A and B are shown apart, each in its own frame.
Chain A
Amino acid sequence: MSNLGTAGAKRSATHLLKANAWFVFAFLYVPIVVLVVFSFNDSERVNVWQGLSARWYGEALGNTQVISALRVSLIVAISSTIVSTVLGTAVALALDRYRFKGRRALDGTVYLPIVIPDITMAVMLLVFFAEAFKLIDTFGPRLTLGVTTVALSHIAFNISFVAVVVRARLDQFDRTLEEAARDLYATPWRTFRRVTLPLIAPGIAAGALLALTLSLDDVVISAFTAGPGATTLPVYVFSTIRQGVTPELNAISTLMLAASITLVVASLALQRPRSTTP
Chain B
Amino acid sequence: MPSLRRAKPAAAQSTDAGPDTPPSLTPAELAAQRRKRRTGTLIATPGALYLLIFFVVPLGLITVYSFATRTSTGRTSLSGWNLNSYERIADDVIGGIIARSAWLAFLTTVLCLVVAYPFAYYLATRPPRLRARLLVLVMIPFWTNGLVRIFAIRFLLGSNGPASALSEAMGFGTFRILFTPTAVVLGMVYGFLTFMVLPLYVALERMDWRLVEAARDLYASGAKAFWRVTVPLTRSGIVAGCVLVFVPSFGSYVVPEILGGAKTLLIGSYVARQFQAARNWPLGAALSVLVIVAMLVAVAINQRNSANAERTQGVTR
Contacts and interface: CB of A to CB of B under 8 A. Distances in A.
B43 interface: yes
B107 interface: no
Nearest to B144: A260
B125 to A, nearest CB: 8
A78 B77 CA distance: 38
A99 B136 CA distance: 36
Interface in A1-57: 6, 9-10, 13, 16-18, 20-21, 23-25, 27-32, 34-35, 38, 45-47
Contact of B41 (A32, A100, A112, A265): A100
21 contacts: A20-B122, A24-B116, A25-B137, A31-B156, A32-B141, A46-B161, A47-B164, A87-B47, A91-B43, A91-B47, A99-B36, A100-B44, A112-B299, A123-B285, A124-B62, A159-B51, A217-B145, A237-B151, A238-B257, A245-B158, A256-B147
Contacts of A259: 145
A119 B206 CA distance: 34
A98 B44 contact: yes
A98 B299 CA distance: 25
Nearest to B244: A115
A128 B54 contact: yes
A74 interface: no
A103 B140 CA distance: 34
A210 to B, nearest CB: 7
Interface centre among B61, B121, B123, B138 (most CB of A within 10 A): B61
A94 B49 CA distance: 13
A241 B59 CA distance: 31
Nearest to B57: A128
A191 to B, nearest CB: 12
Contacts of A234: 145, 147
B184 to A, nearest CB: 15
B204 to A, nearest CB: 12
User: Size class of A's contact patch?
Assistant: 35 or more
A124 B66 CA distance: 11
The 6 closest A-B pairs by CB, nearest first: A98-B40, A117-B251, A94-B44, A91-B47, A128-B58, A100-B40
Given A119-B251, A123-B271, A219-B254, A34 B56 contact: no
Interface string B269-305: 0011001000001001100100110010011000000
Contacts of A230: none
A210 B44 CA distance: 21
Contact of A109 (B55, B257, B295): B55
B151 A253 contact: yes
A202 interface: no
Interface string B212-252: 00000000001000000000000000000001100110111
Interface in A160-213: 160, 163, 188, 210, 213
A261 interface: yes
Given A100-B44, A119-B268, A153-B54, 12 more contacts: A21-B122, A34-B156, A90-B44, A98-B37, A99-B37, A115-B298, A116-B295, A120-B251, A124-B59, A128-B54, A128-B57, A260-B144
A213 B258 CA distance: 21
Contact of A123 (B54, B55, B284): B284
B168 to A, nearest CB: 10
Contact of A17 (B118, B144, B147, B154): B118
Nearest to B46: A87
A94 B37 CA distance: 10
Given A21-B123, A118-B253, A124-B61, A95 B54 contact: no
A24 B55 CA distance: 36
Contact of B154 (A6, A153, A241): A241
Contact of A117 (B54, B121, B152, B250): B250
Contacts of B41: 94, 98, 100-101
B83 interface: no
A56 B3 CA distance: 69
B154 A90 contact: no
